[in-house]
Structure 1
Amino acid sequence: MIPFENAFDQVLQNTLDLGDETVTLLNSTGRILSEDIKADRDFPPFNRSTKDGIVIAFSAIEKGISSFKIEGVLSAGMPQKSLSTDINCFEIMTGAVLPKKADTIIMYEQTEIQDGCATITSIPKKGQNIHSQGTDEQKGAILLKKGTEITAAVIGVLASVGKKEVLVKKLPKICVVSTGNELVEIHETPLPHQIRKSNSLSLAAALEKVKITPTLLHIADDKNAIEKELEKAFLTHDIMMLSGGVSKGKFDFIPGALTNLEIKKIFHRVAQRPGKPFWFGIQKEKKKVVFSFPGNPVSTFANYHVYFLPWLKRSLGLKVEKQSAILEETIQPHPSLTLFVQVTTQWKDGKLIAKTIKGNGSGDLVSLALADGFIRVPQGGEEIAQNTVFDFIAAS
């Protein structure tokens, strides 16, 4: 059994780089850019109006002219026009191209329009209400750097430079494996000695949030079947994410099967609660990684968020950033185990405040549903005072 800190470091030291792939723009949300995105033209691409009103040549103001004949109306999407004389004007709408020989826009609220003429009611500043070409970004400028997560706002930038398809980091292909003769499908009525599957579905739902749709596989507690099915699954998946079968019971066949499949064990059993029996291994040559979590729901859920999500971020080239929360109450650490304690959280005065949930152990699904995440309580002997800051692992 190894300390939590060692286990966490070793997980992050064994990441995968699966390369890149091209996806369509609308399928790229949540993915990680594998290319720098450059402006294909100036932003904005032309001098544009920021107000509805009239557009004039300021030279007319300098000559004392305050009334202008209206030549026409300019709207967004129209080709550029030209002002015929500085004693005339155009009506212009927001987003329209500034006409040639004009340089100042006056809002409708500062004009009076009658009989085809516009009279200004206040003296404007030269160049006002114009969004000048290239003032946001110039052609060739890097708008988004490689490694950027694609959000809804980023989609807008990509669309503006014509990126119909986007180069992104490949996501791993994951098989979520459940084991156990006691498990039945969720639509079945379990017998007194059976339970419905839940861990694998929770993991699948969590993976969907990071844009990964896993394959679900259930294997009975049979040594030969487990080895055979895992070997087959490794042919088409990068990661095995298992739930159950890694403790020391007589039907916990997973560790032995993984050894027979030449998956190198990095560690088995971590000095933590929940999730002590966690097994982690790799096969570097074939780029295969195994996260084998304990079968209890809280253990599986905690280990997924504590280990797998940071591993995925690091594999995608992202920083693994820590978050902290203040625990409002005292807490008793364990003398030899790192604890991951379920908490609810709320923001107060800009600080994240946590409160523990009193659950009934690692099999308590209901308390898990109430939790916003876990605080990490280092091992120790003395009670930790209230308002102490702990590492916080958000869970959803």
Structure 2
Amino acid sequence: MISVEEALDFLLDNARGLDTEYVSLGRLSGRVCAETVHALTTQPPFPASAMDGYAIRFEDAQQGNALKVIGEAPAGKSYAGCLKKSEAVRIFTGAMIPAGADHVVIQEDVERQGADIIIREKQHQQRHIRAAGIDMQKGDILAEPGTTLHHLHGSVFAAANIPHICVYKKPRIALFSTGDELIDPGSDLEPGKIVNSNHYALTALIDHWGGIGTYLGCARDTEDDIAILYEQGRHHDVIVPVGGASVGDYDHVRSTFTQLGGNINFSKVAVKPGKPTWYGALDRTNVLGLPGNPASAIVTACLFLQPLIRALAGQTVPERKWHIGKLATDLPANGRRENYLRAVTETDRSGNILLHPAEGQDSSLLKPFLSCNALIRRKPNSEKLQAGALTEFMTLTRSS
């Protein structure tokens, strides 16, 4: 068995970045930028009025002054002339400030009398003009390669006059289950059968992590059935077989993989739950085998599949940073495998995070995932911990 860190390092070292594509500004959320994005224009590109009112020279803004209105500047149409002493231009929000003006007096502060305005309120300082480039300057860097783009990037890029962005393609993840005992939800439960459930969580998580999850189906416990699904997955970036990787007489997932020419890089990880996790390559396609027990599959997907997807998608995968919380209950000493315990977090009045381990930690249990939002990390051979002790945990990814 190799350690969790060794397995993760191997996965990331062998993850090849995917090709790129251009996408429209309305489809950027969650995509990973593949280029340095520079602003193509200054924003705003000209000094603009921030209010409806009158553009004037501030030296003419004395209370009681009468100014002659010589023109109009609506948004999108500039006033071509230059203001002189005691002149004003009617202006609207977003319009270009006319030459010679350095102040906008709002319409509520003046009285209109025919072709003139009378300044009724004292003007304390130059105001209501947005300088050119206060948002961004042409050439400003707006995003770097590896940046995960969010909902608001599209508007920023649009304001910078950028029509589309080069991003990494989303990793395509092919998932399949194995087992003669598995049946679809809603089927009659015959003796010895169980409902096939893992792929619903895993495909949702894959999509949430930035990949495109495709469920290929469930293979019977024969090498021929399993080989068909491997072949269907060859044109994806990652194949994820779930189950069938232990040492039983009917576990054919790895043997079929090697018969098809696959190369296994590691076959067990010192982690609980999830020891049968394995990794290899079938030609240029990554193959990450996950255990069939539900908790094992979900936990190992969070530990290994999520960073693999991020690396393939062009993201810089940071080192894992552990949160620190206080245990709400005692924990026994840990064995020689790194252990991840499902838990619920709570924040006390002092702002401390309390960790409540789920009562059931068996790798077959799915129901704890309804409430658990954290995984407590127990290092190999760690000692017993008392309630109140500090311990490491990671947030449990849950798609929403």
- Among 261, 284, 294, the alignment partner of 2:291 is 294
In structure 1, list runs of 5 or more residues that go unmatched: none
Equivalent position SS for 1:150 = coil
**Residues in 1 aligned to 2:144 and 2:331: alpha-carbon distance in whole angstroms:** 43
Per-residue deviation, 1:107: 3.4
Q: In the superposition, relative to structure 1, how do residues 325 and 107 fare at CA in structure 2: closer, same or farther (>3 Å)?
A: farther
Alignment size in residue pairs:
390
CA 1:120–1:337: 2 relative to 1, 3 Å: same
Distance 1:240 1:387 in 2: 40
Does 2:113 correspond to 1:112? no
Q: Distance in 1 between matches of 2:322 and 2:98?
A: 52
2:391 corresponding residue in structure 1:
389
Residue 159 of structure 1: how far off its partner (Å):
1.8
Q: Distance in 1 between matches of 2:30 and 2:298?
A: 22
Is residue 166 of structure 1 aligned with residue 168 of structure 2? no
**Aligned pairs (5 A) from 1:132-211:** 132-211=131-210
Amino acid corresponding to residue 331 of structure 1 in structure 2:
L
Task: Answer whether contact 2:334 2:384 (CA < 8 A) is retained.
Answer: no
Report how far residue 65 of structure 1 moved: 7.0
TM-score for the superposition, normalised by structure 2: 0.89
Distance 2:396 2:75 in 1: 45
* Structure-2 change in CA distance of 1:351 and 1:280 (3 Å): farther
Q: Look up the equivalent residue of 2:366 and give its one-letter code.
A: L
Which whole-Å CA distance do the structure 1 matches of 2:335 and 2:184 have between them?
A: 40
After superposition, the C-alpha distances for 1:222-261 in whole angstroms (9 at most, x for unaligned) are 1222123313421x21211111101111111111111122
Match of 1:361 in 2: 362
Deviations 1:235-291 (A, max 9, x none): x212111111011111111111111222221211222211111111124xx321111
After superposition, the Cα gap between the structure-2 partners of 1:181 and 1:118, relative to the gap in structure 1 and judged at 3 Å, is farther
- What SS does structure 2 have at the residue aligned with 1:152? coil
Give the corresponding residue for 1:338: 338
2:147/2:315 contact within 8 Å kept: no
> Could you tell me which residue of structure 2 aligns to residue 220 of structure 1?
220
Report Cα offsets for 1:333-387 as digits up to 9, x if no partner.
4221211111122455665443222125111111122211312111225212424
What residue number does 1:370 align with? 371
Could you tell me which residue of structure 2 aligns to residue 264 of structure 1? 263
Paired with 2:396 and 2:341, the residues of 1 have a C-alpha distance of 12
CA gap of 1:18–1:391, structure 2 versus 1, over 3 A, is same
Classify 1:297/1:248 alpha carbon distance in 2 versus 1 (closer, same or farther; 3 Å): same
SS in 1 for 2:60: helix
The yes-or-no answer on 1:42 pairing with 2:42 is: yes
Q: How far apart, CA to CA, are the structure 1 residues paired with 2:344 and 2:80?
A: 61
| TM-score in terms of structure 1 length | 0.90
8 Å Cα contact 1:267/1:280 also seen in 2: yes
Any idea what SS the aligned residue of 1:246 has? coil
Q: Is the 8 A contact 1:306 1:393 kept in 2?
A: no
Unaligned runs of 5+ in 2: none
* Residues 47, 130 of structure 1: 8 Å contact kept: yes
Give the deviation of 1:319 after TM superposition: 3.0
Deviations 1:151-189 (A, max 9, x none): 112111122234333210122221111111111222433
CA contact (8 A) 2:375 2:395 kept: yes
- Identity among equivalent pairs (%): 26
Match of 1:7 in 2: 7
Question: In the alignment, is residue 309 of structure 1 matched against residue 306 of structure 2?
Answer: yes
Contact 2:110-2:121 at 8 Å conserved across structures? yes
Compute the RMSD of aligned alpha carbons: 2.3
Residues 33 and 147, structure 2, Cα contact 8 Å, conserved in 1: yes
- What is the CA–CA distance in structure 2 between the aligned matches of 1:201 and 1:137, rounded to whole Å? 44
Deviates more, 1:358-367 or 1:30-39: 358-367
Q: What is residue 88 of structure 1 aligned with on the other side?
A: 87
Question: Which range moves more in the overlay, 9-18 or 250-259?
Answer: 9-18
Contact 1:179–1:245 (8 Å) recurs in 2: yes
Are residues 46 and 351 of structure 1, via their aligned partners in 2, closer, same or farther at CA, if it must alter by over 3 Å?
farther
Corresponding residue of 2:248: 249
Query: In structure 2, what is the Cα distance between the partners aligned to 1:150 and 1:17?
Result: 17
Aligned to 1:319: 317
